[in-house]
Chains A and B, each alone.
Chain A
Amino acid sequence: MTVGTVKLKIDNVEVAVPEGTTILEAAKSNGIDIPTLCNLEGLSGYGGCRLCMVEIHGSPKLFAACVTPVGMGMEVITQSDKLREYRKMAIQFILSERTHICAVCVANNACELQKLANDLGVDHVMFEREWTRLPVDSTHDFLVLDRNRCILCTRCLRVCDEIEGVHTLDLKMRGKDAQVIIDLDEDWANSSSCTSCRKCAKVCPVGAIYVESVALEETKDKGIAEFVLSRRNRK
């Protein structure tokens, strides 16, 4: 079956993309930038961070561009005062959920959350901050999991499952209480499935999973999932 072409407007620009493309992919392939945190090329869509919210003409609701497929004749707005306000609020929700103390974080100045907050002009958090202290797992030989810095974007889970193919990482609990766990909530040192591939550290947008004693700028590699997939799909 051939894949049809869908025509739509993004920020008043007419674009044509293959059927089944998400709004985020359609925008990106036409040079329109939409901020994202949980989305990563090569991994499945998650729609958890709500940073990529867009307006669709005719609907009062906002849509997560990373998990909303394009539709024929759709008119999408990716930048507006309303969207900027909601994106700022989404960042503040994320910042208020954990004790994000940048001054003592390994990801300071190499953090996607920090950069987005800066780009959007977030200068304080209007919500009362949650100060609950969560366990840090530093039992692995060189990988560290600091749940206090985690923003629950699940990039690490998805890269571990979909790219490395071992599904060592997962979540327990729900909502803001959710926590990344190793195997069935074991210490990382006791994990029987972890291959120590470091992909989780490479895709973590903040400082929640990192390699000990290695500069974060050298560790992070947002393109790792896409790269592995492209190698796997070689003909």
Chain B
Amino acid sequence: MTSTSKVRVATVWLSGCSGCHMSFLDQDEALIDLAQQIQLVYSPIMDVKVFPENVDVTLIEGAVANEDQEELLKFARERTKILISLGDCAVTGNVPGLRNGITNSADAVLKRAFVETADMNPQIPTDVPTLLPKALPLHEVVKVDFYIPGCPPPADLINWVISRLMRGLPVNMEGRSKFG
């Protein structure tokens, strides 16, 4: 199989702990089989600056918590055939979403992190992306095609979903993954 006929896969890391990427890598020897069939075109584990065009499958970890992430997510959606929400932060908002219950949460968490608990030079940074009012699950921002819940999702489940999708088989999550 030449690289041109391989499934073009991207992975994206938004507001998450990278645990879902760790779980993706935790597929161990199954990654070798997967590598024969896919071409990784964009990922935090490789050095590509711009999200490429014509991506077949994109797995996205983390909630949408700032303006840059929102832009990247929309960009990825435009350029991807199948977009998958990977893990609880992407599916439910999970831990990044815990700030959503606080009034003026963006200002409140920045103040807490950079001013109230700072030992030296307490100041809110201005050269980083602006936080959104709420950290949102992906499907509240763009259309999502498939969901792999879990914190993190088990490696076997990630492999099962990707393998089924590549063979054009239906993905029914009944009894497969704990929600949340």
Query: Which residues of chain A have a CB within 8 Å of any CB of chain B?
Result: 95, 99-105, 108-109, 114-115, 117-125, 128-129, 131-133
**Within B151-176, which residues are at the interface with A (CB < 8 Å)?**
151, 172-176
**Within B82-96, which residues are at the interface with A (CB < 8 Å)?**
85, 88, 91-95
The count of chain B contact residues (Cβ–Cβ below 8 Å) is 31
Q: B147 touching A114 by the CB < 8 A rule? A: no
Cα–Cα, bound, A155→B85 (Å):
34
Smallest distance from the beta carbon of B29 to chain A beta carbons, Å? 27
Residue from the list A105, A109, A123, A133 in contact with B147, Cβ < 8 A: A123
- In the complex, besides A103-B94, A105-B180, 10 extra interface pairs with C-beta distance below 8 angstroms are A95-B179, A101-B92, A102-B94, A108-B180, A114-B178, A114-B179, A118-B178, A121-B173, A124-B91, A124-B149
Cα–Cα, bound, A222→B147 (Å):
32
Cα–Cα, bound, A104→B151 (Å):
10
Q: A118 touching B148 by the CB < 8 A rule? A: no
Cα–Cα, bound, A146→B34 (Å):
44
Cα–Cα, bound, A192→B92 (Å):
39
Lowest 9 CB-CB distances: which A-B pairs, in order?
A102-B180, A133-B101, A121-B174, A131-B100, A117-B179, A123-B147, A103-B151, A124-B147, A123-B173
> Does B137 sit within 8 A of A, measured CB to CB?
yes
> Does B134 sit within 8 A of A, measured CB to CB?
yes
Q: B94 touching A118 by the CB < 8 A rule? A: no
Cα–Cα, bound, A56→B139 (Å):
36
How would residues 89 to 125 of chain B score, 1 for a CB under 8 Å from any chain A CB and 0 otherwise? Answer: 0011111011011100000000000000000000000
Residue from the list B101, B147, B174, B178 in contact with A120, Cβ < 8 A: B174
Residues in A neighbouring B100, C-beta threshold 8 A = 99, 131
Smallest distance from the beta carbon of A221 to chain B beta carbons, Å? 22
Q: B175 touching A117 by the CB < 8 A rule? A: no
Q: A123 touching B93 by the CB < 8 A rule? A: no
Given contacts A104-B98, A118-B175, contact A129 B92 (CB under 8 A): yes
